[in-house]
Amino acid sequence: MPLSIRQPAAPRYRGRQDVAKSPQSQSQASWRVALTFDVEHHDRPAHPDGTRLVLRTLAERDVVATHFIQGRWAQAYPDLARDLARQGHLIGNHSHHHTPMTWLSPKGLAKDVRQAEQAVRRATGHDPRPWFRCPYGDGADDPEVLAALDRLGYRDVGWQVDTFDWRAKATGPQVVRTVIEQATAHGDGAVVLFHPWTPATGRAMPQIIDGLRAAGARFVRLDELR
């Protein structure tokens, strides 16, 4: 059955300063960075095995992260979704159809979020609540969307650093530079947005991890920022 649509709007990514906002002096011994990944079906040129490559890099460098998993993706790749959870990463909900939340009626939104929750739980064995990320960041500043998510047991999580890795012309060096410069400038509690299906992210991840560690960063899951 098609989802109920409330209003059309052009989806776009919206960065927000809603998690661990306080900056930290780089003279301090260590500061926290949360690497977060929107694990979803891609709609642009993609790395054929990007998510597995990112997962392998995180494991090799002993890094924990947070993965917001689209329900339909979890249904398509249950073994890989299970591996994300088995390696100790935090699991969140990234909707079922990856439809902008402001396009949905209250009933349609609730149905979409619950479908995703069920799919993610089946695949990973983990309840993704309360972690949710609105597709494209759409709805993150909409009181009705946020209230609907709250009723379902979720809170939306934004980011301070947008890698723009989803752009067709994004390159590994560009993503490395963006993350290291902006995460370092923000300091403690920087939340970084990635898309593991992009070619640029897989290429950039080893240098990002090594570069941030050299700058004193410590990698944490989102639940360690509160």
Q: Please tell me the number of Cα atoms within 13 Å of 212 on its side-chain side.
A: 34
pLDDT for position 14: 52
Note the pLDDT of residue 48: 74
Question: How do residues 29-63 score in pLDDT, each as one tens digit?
Answer: 689 999 999 999 987 778 879 999 999 999 999 99
Which positions ≥6 away from 124 have C-beta within 8 Å? 69, 74, 81, 82, 84, 85, 91
Q: Are 55 and 39 in contact (CB under 8 A)?
A: no
**What are the residue boundaries of the structural domains of the chain, listed by start?**
31-224
What pLDDT, on the 0 to 100 scale, is given for residue 45?
74
CB 168: neighbour CB atoms within 10 A? 9
3-state secondary structure of 39: strand
Q: Extract the residue ranges of the chain whose pLDDT is less than 50.
A: 1-13, 15-27
Q: Give the pTM.
A: 0.88
CATH for 31-224, among 3.20.20.370, 3.40.50.720, 3.40.640.10, 1.10.3720.10? 3.20.20.370
| pLDDT of res. 145 | 98
What pLDDT was estimated at residue 102?
98
Q: Are β-strands 90-93 and 155-156 bridged in parallel, bridged antiparallel, or unpaired?
A: unpaired
